[in-house]
């Protein structure tokens, strides 16, 4: 039951019964004990989980003072970081830019002060338990770089560290908290300076034996097309990467592109329509092969909304099997630019080796990693009161606190 709360963030007693297979009476007895011990607390029920009629059920979450988790997304042009507590509340978040193509050492020199700043502001809420890092690329060289970055940050803070491809992690975050929450099978595509994605099958993000599952950005659409940074030609990323679309639209950034689209600018509309059509071809192949009913579209280019999603749906319908057209849903990502960093947190939450320990009855604060299980101190109500009702939680991260 604690593992379910760790992964899902919060759940009602009915939800815990369904997730664990335990009877309502057994769940009630266990919850009473855990509340008395301070291992779980009562929290507000997410709006999406509230019934339309009748009484809203009480929701439970892990004690937020059990620890903090740091998620870091080292993208092509900026680092984004987020600090989340054990109850899945966002404690702090932020972003810093660096030039495209910056060496990894330079990216870390930007990332570390940002992480330090966020953790300094969050420190009264608990101790850091782990850091999850997302990096670009899925080649063996990228995996090695990810390990180096993971080790550097984990060693700096003296905590457990995990690393993965940042697009895959953004897809994981959408499964846990976002547009694919509750879906067993889905595709996630991230349209930004780089183009990546994730494959979700049976509720799990698949990486494949080489770690390249979901690499939609390097699906070849034109063997004679432009050279891609991966060394191939005509890859989706080389055709619809954000710099390509902005250049074709004559826009300096996504905000300018959105304004041009809203104003009916023909160059902007054609650039986005062409990007949507090419993305739809790549997605259609994956949808057809895997019979996946849900496509989630994220990344900076997705910020133009229906200007992109409308043509993408139309083009996708042309290329999937006729029997699948009505079954396939295309949704915008729900977690915004922090999806990759939140995926780093989700990576830690899904790893039972990363400990989240509730403090014992006589300890002055959160216990250190590796300490014993919590004692019978009635801390739940105090922790819930300290958190307050207004702190945002991971499922509502459109505008998190910073």
Full DSSP string of 64-106: GGG-EEEEEEE-SSEEEEEEEETT-BEEEEEEEE--TT--HHH
Q: Which residue shows structure tokens 């041009």? A: 260
- What is the per-residue pLDDT across 119-128, written as a single tens digit (0 to 9) for each? 988 765 568 9
Domain containing 275: what range? Answer: 182-333
Q: Are 326 and 220 in contact (CB under 8 A)?
A: no
Residues 6+ apart with CB under 8 A from 397: 90, 177, 334, 335, 336, 338, 342
How many structural domains is the chain composed of? Answer: 1
Q: How confident is the model at residue 100 (pLDDT cuts 50, 70, 90)?
A: confident
C-alpha to C-alpha distance for 103 and 175, rounded to whole angstroms = 31
**Higher pLDDT pick, 14 / 367:** 14
Residue range 4-26: average pLDDT?
A: 90
Q: Is residue 322 part of a domain?
A: yes
In a domain, 340, yes or no: no
Question: Phi/psi of residue 93, each to 5°?
Answer: -155, 160
Confidence grade of residue 330 (pLDDT, cut at 50, 70, 90): very high
pLDDT over 90 at 366, yes or no: no
Asked whether residue 96 is domain-assigned, the answer is no
pLDDT of residue 140: 65
Q: Is residue 293 part of a domain?
A: yes
For residue 72, the tally of other CB atoms under 10 A from its CB is: 30
pLDDT at 375 over 50: no
Report if residue 265 sits inside a domain. Answer: yes
pLDDT in tens, 310-327: 999 999 999 998 887 788
Give the full edge-to-edge strand order of the sheet including 90-97: 90-97, 78-85, 68-74, 128-135, 160-165
Over the stretch 28-51, which tens digit does the pLDDT of each residue have? 999 999 999 889 999 877 666 555
Select the highest-mean-pLDDT range: 10-14, 143-147, 210-214: 10-14
Query: How many CB atoms lie under 10 A from the CB of residue 210?
Result: 11
Average of per-residue pLDDT across 2-26: 90
Residue with token string 């014993």? 372
Between 84-93, 169-178, 202-211, 245-254, the lowest mean confidence (pLDDT) is in 202-211
This model's pTM is above 0.75: yes
- Domain CATH for 264: 3.30.420.40
Residue 62: inside a domain: no
User: Which pLDDT band holds residue 239 (cuts at 50, 70, 90)?
Assistant: very high
Look at residue 11 and tell me if it is in a domain: no
The pLDDT value given to residue 48? 61
User: Which comes out higher in pLDDT, residue 347 or 365?
Assistant: 347
Give the rounded percent of residues in the chain with a pLDDT score beyond 90: 58
Give mean pLDDT, residues 363-390: 34
- In a domain? residue 280: yes
């Amino acid at each position: 039951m604690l593992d379910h709360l760790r992964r899902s963030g919060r759940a009602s007693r009915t939800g815990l019964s369904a997730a664990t297979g335990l009877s309502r009476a057994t769940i009630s007895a266990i919850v009473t004990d855990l509340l008395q011990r301070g291992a779980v607390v009562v929290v507000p029920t997410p709006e999406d989980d509230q019934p339309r009629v009748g009484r809203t059920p009480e929701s439970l979450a892990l004690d937020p003072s059990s620890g903090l988790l740091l998620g870091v997304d080292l993208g092509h042009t900026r680092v984004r970081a987020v600090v989340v507590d054990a109850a899945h509340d966002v404690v702090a978040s932020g972003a810093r830019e660096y030039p495209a193509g910056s060496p990894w050492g330079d990216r870390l020199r930007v990332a570390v002060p940002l992480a330090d700043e966020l953790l300094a502001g969050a420190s009264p809420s608990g101790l850091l338990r782990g850091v999850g890092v997302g990096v670009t690329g899925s080649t063996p060289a990228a995996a090695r770089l990810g390990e180096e970055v993971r080790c550097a940050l984990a060693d700096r803070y003296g905590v457990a560290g995990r690393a993965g491809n940042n697009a895959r992690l953004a897809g994981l975050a959408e499964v846990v908290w976002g547009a694919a929450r509750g879906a067993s099978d889905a595709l996630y595509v991230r349209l930004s300076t780089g183009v990546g994605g994730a494959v979700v099958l049976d509720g799990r993000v698949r990486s494949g034996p080489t770690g390249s599952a979901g690499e939609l950005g390097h699906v070849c659409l034109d063997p004679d097309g432009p050279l891609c940074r991966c060394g191939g030609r005509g890859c989706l990323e080389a055709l619809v990467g954000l710099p390509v679309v902005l250049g074709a639209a004559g826009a300096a950034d996504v905000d300018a592109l959105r304004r041009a689209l809203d104003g009916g600018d023909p160059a902007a509309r054609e650039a986005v329509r062409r990007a949507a059509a090419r993305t739809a071809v790549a997605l259609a192949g994956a949808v057809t092969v895997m019979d996946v009913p849900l496509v989630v579209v994220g990344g900076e280019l997705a910020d133009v909304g229906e200007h992109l999603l409308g043509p993408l749906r139309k083009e996708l319908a042309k290329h999937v099997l006729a029997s699948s057209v009505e079954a396939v849903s295309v949704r915008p990502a729900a977690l915004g630019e922090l999806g990759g960093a939140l995926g780093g947190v989700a990576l830690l939450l899904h790893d039972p080796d990363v400990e989240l320990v509730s403090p014992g009855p006589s300890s002055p604060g959160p216990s250190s990693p590796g300490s014993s299980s919590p004692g019978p101190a009635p801390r739940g109500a105090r922790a819930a009161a300290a958190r307050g009702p207004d702190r945002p939680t991971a499922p509502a991260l459109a505008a998190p606190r910073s």
